Structure 1
């Protein structure tokens, strides 16, 4: 454990040495724990009781940002932040902004900037992904807060996206870098959210305007549904460090990555072109199943999981760290917030 002393700008030079020493001793507010040897997550805990994490984080944002860029993930434990309001207050302390422009999530509270996780069946694993990497704009940071851990399971596994990039076979990596990833989505077919929910409008004109400004091809279908096609990078550089990161959601969209029963059910229900979600190389050619198996094996070997405790907060650099969700039993309640919207043109 490494103890961190927090400076106080209110200290005055006329204080005598004994007084300064006494105050400094009270400023050892947090401690770092990375003794497990894992690079992620860095764990920060209070070293004294009743530390106000939001106040501490606001005064030490540069410290938090430095460690987040180094590790990609920070887990704050023992600070007892269990309400959406407290979670949002902390989010605003460590982020320049929180935003609510994500139709993939539903509101958790009237604060407007705290969400519940996107729905996914509790008995299935939600595979690793960098949040919204299929969109033209996506969050630099994402936060999760534990209001109630599941009775069993429900961890949020995380993976260092820099290591994923490094471990993918060079020929596969180069092909994705060259061709990128094409994401194809059909809305309004009875599965998943409809376009009105995702785009938060009833106006087709508004949807078209959004698609045009976000480099999304679109097609209105005869049944009133919508089909979109987006071509995005598979690899990007971190906007601050320049490190290369595997930044996409191919394994989140590709049929080969689904459970066998789910995949067979979808293929028996929909034509290939009408599947709710699918992905290809950016030129429209098929991404081989064997390639996706190789990529998923790397994620699986690299993933780090920890059991949620009530009051935990996980802060992720969305470029450096992918996340997922393990199956669970019992009620599970997490808060989600996203911050610092950025686009591919800024990387």
Structure 2
């Protein structure tokens, strides 16, 4: 009897204890590691404890994330509990309040216009490496991709370090592009690709011409309600925060020699060179040699880093430091895209 009374008294003491919140060490909330095989691109950031709120943590550690992004060039946030469509924009906005809302190249995904889907490209073809919007006068410094549904096979987003590309390119090629720059020539409404009404978001030709002048593009109206633009842009820029020189362009994304043989044959059998949907030259209008583009492509392939997407992954890129591509895929694949921190070539 006495023993039962003693046990009851002890139980009463425990019942009267007021629970106190225990704050986990910040160091244990988040884990950082490399992908299997090592390498610095991307840095993988994962929760170190259950129920870590990614948006809350990112808001409190924005400066730290920015520093890691400048160091690595790409951050992969993995295994966090979030609703991709609902939470993705909030996460990106926590790190960059000025998200891009005026993109005629990418279909909008939500009412706010700050989240997009990738442009359509045949799933059996590879989208070659590029720095987003570097053919335009204005482009995003930061890009986010959110995986809603990974492809059944393939569909990775390969990355390449733009600093290493600049450092490892043959000095003669690097100097030629630095001196001459790149001329991007685009024909809207001819063959694959978007028409000018979609990209410029207007039916008014005068407004299109105004936008072209503002973007420092030459333009001409062509037969069949077509539009041709020419834009000369740098191929090499200095990062505004790190001061590093980076290979920053889309020459390999536009040059016809970089297309697969079947696509190249199909286009050249239908279009004159001047009428190709997209092509590029040196900035003075001279031809970029196929052999030069082959050397550039080989270096991209050598430096490429890929990983398999997982549902709810968020990949954050510094657009100047890291180029991205897309591998062919099979099955349904859904990614969301956000961009922010717009800069122009006059700022670098």
Smaller-chain TM-score bracket: over 0.9
Equivalent pairs counted in the alignment come to 329
Q: 1:324 to 1:22 in 2, by over 3 A?
A: same
Secondary structure class of the residue paired with 1:163: helix
Distance in 2 (alpha carbons) for counterparts of 1:243 and 1:299: 19
Map 1:274-285; keep pairs closer than 5 Å.
274-285=275-286
- Per-residue CA shift, 1:245-294, capped at 9, x if unaligned? 00000000001000001001100100110000000000000000000000
The answer to whether the 8 A contact 1:82-1:310 is kept is no
Choose 40-49 or 110-119, whichever is displaced more.
110-119
Task: Provide the residue aligned with 1:63 in structure 2.
Answer: 64
Distance in 2 (alpha carbons) for counterparts of 1:258 and 1:216: 25
Tell me the C-alpha RMSD between the 2 structures: 1.5
Task: Provide the residue aligned with 1:204 in structure 2.
Answer: 205
CA shift for structure 1 position 111:
3.0
CA shift for structure 1 position 303:
0.6
TM-score, with length taken from structure 1: 0.92
Q: 1:171 to 1:190 in 2, by over 3 A?
A: closer
CA shift for structure 1 position 97:
1.5
CA shift for structure 1 position 23:
2.3
Distance in 1 (alpha carbons) for counterparts of 2:285 and 2:169: 21
The answer to whether the 8 A contact 1:80-1:310 is kept is no
TM-score, with length taken from structure 2: 0.92
The answer to whether the 8 A contact 1:81-1:312 is kept is no
Choose 129-138 or 92-101, whichever is displaced more.
92-101
Q: 1:23 to 1:80 in 2, by over 3 A?
A: closer
Task: Provide the residue aligned with 1:33 in structure 2.
Answer: 33
The answer to whether the 8 A contact 2:173-2:292 is kept is yes
Distance in 2 (alpha carbons) for counterparts of 1:108 and 1:251: 28
Choose 325-334 or 82-91, whichever is displaced more.
82-91
CA shift for structure 1 position 22:
4.2
The answer to whether the 8 A contact 1:82-1:146 is kept is no
Task: Provide the residue aligned with 1:221 in structure 2.
Answer: 222
CA shift for structure 1 position 81:
2.9
* Stretches of structure 1 lacking an aligned partner (at least 5 in a row): 1-18
The answer to whether the 8 A contact 2:53-2:81 is kept is no
Map 1:181-196; keep pairs closer than 5 Å.
181-196=182-197
The answer to whether the 8 A contact 1:281-1:287 is kept is yes
The answer to whether the 8 A contact 1:130-1:319 is kept is yes
Choose 102-111 or 252-261, whichever is displaced more.
102-111
Task: Provide the residue aligned with 1:170 in structure 2.
Answer: 171
Choose 202-211 or 70-79, whichever is displaced more.
202-211
CA shift for structure 1 position 27:
6.8
Q: 1:123 to 1:82 in 2, by over 3 A?
A: farther
The answer to whether the 8 A contact 1:57-1:90 is kept is yes
Task: Provide the residue aligned with 2:3 in structure 1.
Answer: none
Task: Provide the residue aligned with 1:77 in structure 2.
Answer: 78
CA shift for structure 1 position 188:
1.4
* Stretches of structure 2 lacking an aligned partner (at least 5 in a row): 1-18
CA shift for structure 1 position 52:
1.0
